[in-house]
Structure 1
Amino acid sequence: MYKPSIRRPALHVARQTPLPIRVSRPFIRHASTEVKVQRVRFKKRIFTRVTLASLCLYTAAYYTYFQMIGRQLDRLDEGEGVANPGRSPADPTLDEDDELEPIFIPLGLTKARPKTYYKGSDPEWQEFRKLAPDQKKHARMRDQLVAIVRTQIANDKRFKPRMGDINITVGAHWLDITFPDGPPTEYERSGLEIGDHIAWTARPVTELNYHRLNRALYPTAVFSSVLASSKYLVDRQTQMVKRFFNLPVSEEQQKRQYRNSVLGKPTTPTGIESGSDADSTQRSSVPPPPQVPQAPGSNPQEKNVAFPDFSPAPPKSMALSIFASTLAKNWHAFKLEPPRGTVVVSGLIEIKGSKARMTMDVNAAYDPKQDKFVMLQGAIRRIQDMSQRPKGGN
């Protein structure tokens, strides 16, 4: 009869099937032998070629140093002894006088110290208390500062064409006297000090050097100038590409292009362009004269090649003019704090000339002990001509 059978997977059948066992003959042949494991340590050679060469090199260097430089130092010591016969080598003052200043290697950035303030017992505050009620001294300080500023402007040749003859006794001024609450902020820089010993120390840094270092590390004015000139060049190239493919140009780009074209043309004081159409057509009809090639060295400017002219050249392109104007706009002078123990005198001083008048913003520091100004900073606030003409014409 028919008997139902169970279907088993091939993997199950393969597991039940006995596998043939094969034993290699070498394993049977050496089955009775014992395997011994022995540890071995490899030692490095002490005297190798590299070691011997390094030893010879260092020995020759030390020998040369002690034979040549050591003798020179001994001769110098003997010469100092002959020059100063009264001083013996065992004199304890010899090392003190010949002590060299330790070498300082700055590491890291310069940082400001915590702000401090004057106390009532400080000598600076006592000087302030003596100076505060003396109104005659205040008036003399103001007059002294006004005379200094006006004299400097009158002696400066750069203001002569614009200002004319300056009268230092004429003009108004508005000056305030302020007593600081504390000394200026101090700055320090950490680093290694190498002398008789090596130590990690901090040395003071002047405020001017601190601002110079920050300007060198973070040149924001130069970066903004480069960004402005680069933006102009990118916009100009974009306009050229759009014109090449006959693409529409935005109104803002057209206005900017028109402004740049107007600024690039020289104009007369009345606002009319220097070259008219008639003059341009007349000049175009006349052929230009032939250019005669000059021999090398015939030009007087080429003869002084070793002594170049360092006068600043005017910008020849719109990108350079944008860079220069942006740099002059963002390049500000350092605002230094008044020195310790000084009084701040700040305000406006008017300077009158025969052609124009000037108003200067002044900030000065007066030292009561020395009875003079130790710091002076000034900037031109405005210049106005005595006679003003209409720019639109008559």
Structure 2
Amino acid sequence: MWRLFRPRTGAASASTLAARAIVPKVPGRQTVIVQRVKISRPRFRPRTFFLGAGISLVCWQMYWSTVLNPFFRHVDREYESLSVAEKKALDEEMDEEAEPWFIPFPFTTKSVDQPPYKGSDPEWEQFLKISRDKETQLQMRSQLSQRVKAAVEDNPRITASGGNPVRIRRYWLDIDFPYRPPPVFYSSGLLVQGDGIYWSRQEVDSFAVKRLEKVLWPQAMAVSTWAFASTLFKQHFTAISRALGFESSKPVQPFPPIRGGNVQQKTQGPLPSANRQTPDGTPAENASHDVSKTADSRQTDGPESGGKTNFVRDVAISHAEGMKHITAGPVREFWKKLSQTWWSPNRYPPRGCVLVSGFVECEMPKAVVVIDVWGFWNPKTKMFDSDLTYMRLRRFQPKRQGPLRA
């Protein structure tokens, strides 16, 4: 049965090849050419190996004799010049184990949510003490309001409009106890120790994580650049549509204003007669002659045609002025969007901190200012951290208002 599947040999195969050769080739078809390629490994050549080893040895010997050996000899001389006490202190310092150095890698940071507080946790017990102590709560609110007052006094723009001194009029501050600690960030990287280098996963600072995220994902810069490009495109599109007549342009004055109208009016007046004299006593003809001479001298003060001019500088200045005029509006949109979307990264508070938030109203001689504020009070230090206190101007109300138009 398997004979039916065997390839034909002999006359049958020859006839098949002949038939294929006789059949005319279709111009649309292409002949497939199969080539055999043999990949051979490069042979080991002792000559190349020994030549490279010799060159490397010579380079190492030169580097050792010119750089490393003089440096080590200098260190030995400095060590020998030390006293016995200094040598002992240096040896003790070298024997101490150095702190490991961790190098985090980007795109390996992960945020891990912490479990909620338990009733037996020391942080929750501290929260219970604060909730029952009214004096501590009053102290927390007073500290935060005083920080707001100091910030208003140090702001030159607010004090320039409202004046000094600043007095706390009233405040509304709430105290909130968090149910769980802030998340913890872990990053993978290289851990350099005295006995070697290891791949490790360590806890990193939340502020460093936020700063790295703003560098790797510049959202504010991307949005501002998009605002610049879109404004520039709209400006060019409007100019092209006006040039093609699809949009009504501004009415053009038929005759531009003529400068020096007084001079033309003077020249249209009656010419001085020959018998008239000028105030300095000269005849009117001489005066008119002097005027014509001064006019001719003013005309000849400019550069003559064919004189030397800095053409490249003039063209560069004109192009720079044109680009500055074209990009003035888009640049304003860029800085406006950047000021709206850019903010400094906020760090998470330490474990066990209490949130105090609300508003503080400050009275000034000329205005009343309302400041939104939120800060984290640390029970261990019993203070507000300046890096964890945030403020925002909600309202600036002048005491006396006048109309904008007379």
* TM-score of the aligned structures, taking structure 1 as reference length: 0.65
Residue number in structure 1 paired with 2:150 = 151
- The 1:56/1:102 distance shift into structure 2, 3 A limit, reads farther
- The 1:45/1:378 distance shift into structure 2, 3 A limit, reads closer
Deviations 1:3-55 (A, max 9, x none): xxxxxxxxx9x97xxxxxxxxxxxxxxxxxxxxxxxxx99945422x323211
Structure 2 unmatched runs, 5+: 1-11, 16-39, 251-255, 264-297, 299-325
Contact 1:108 1:191 in 2 (8 A): no
Residue number in structure 1 paired with 2:372 = 361
Aligned residues: 302
Amino acid at match of 1:179: F
Residue number in structure 1 paired with 2:110 = 111
Amino acid at match of 2:54: C
Residue number in structure 2 paired with 1:383 = 396
Amino acid at match of 2:181: P
**Stretch moving more, 116-125 or 208-217:** 116-125
Amino acid at match of 2:376: A
Amino acid at match of 2:206: E
Q: CA–CA distance in 2 between the matches of 1:187 and 1:388?
A: 51
Other structure's SS at 2:132 match: coil
TM superposition shift of 1:346: 0.7
- The 1:286/1:96 distance shift into structure 2, 3 A limit, reads farther
Q: CA–CA distance in 2 between the matches of 1:284 and 1:186?
A: 76
Q: CA–CA distance in 2 between the matches of 1:102 and 1:364?
A: 33
Amino acid at match of 1:133: R
- The 1:116/1:165 distance shift into structure 2, 3 A limit, reads same
The yes-or-no answer on 1:139 pairing with 2:122 is no
- Percent identity (aligned): 24
Residue number in structure 2 paired with 1:270 = none
Residue number in structure 1 paired with 2:206 = 207
TM superposition shift of 1:207: 1.8
Q: Which among 172, 178, 181 is matched to residue 180 of structure 1?
A: 178
Q: CA–CA distance in 2 between the matches of 1:286 and 1:353?
A: 56
TM superposition shift of 1:97: 2.6
TM superposition shift of 1:74: 5.9
Moved >6 Å (runs of 4+): 86-89, 280-284
Q: CA–CA distance in 2 between the matches of 1:235 and 1:373?
A: 49
The yes-or-no answer on 1:128 pairing with 2:139 is no
Contact 1:165 1:353 in 2 (8 A): yes
Amino acid at match of 2:401: Q
Q: CA–CA distance in 2 between the matches of 1:181 and 1:203?
A: 25
Q: CA–CA distance in 2 between the matches of 1:215 and 1:106?
A: 15
Amino acid at match of 2:244: F
Deviations 1:127-157 (A, max 9, x none): 2222110112111211121122112211332
Residue number in structure 1 paired with 2:337 = 326
- The 1:43/1:147 distance shift into structure 2, 3 A limit, reads closer
Residue number in structure 2 paired with 1:243 = 242
TM superposition shift of 1:330: 1.9
Where do residues 306-321 of structure 1 align in structure 2 (5 Å cutoff)? 317-321=328-332
Indicate the structure with greater helix content: 2
- The 1:201/1:286 distance shift into structure 2, 3 A limit, reads farther
* TM-score of the aligned structures, taking structure 2 as reference length: 0.63
Deviations 1:54-109 (A, max 9, x none): 111222244345555256436525643663636999x9956533747546362534
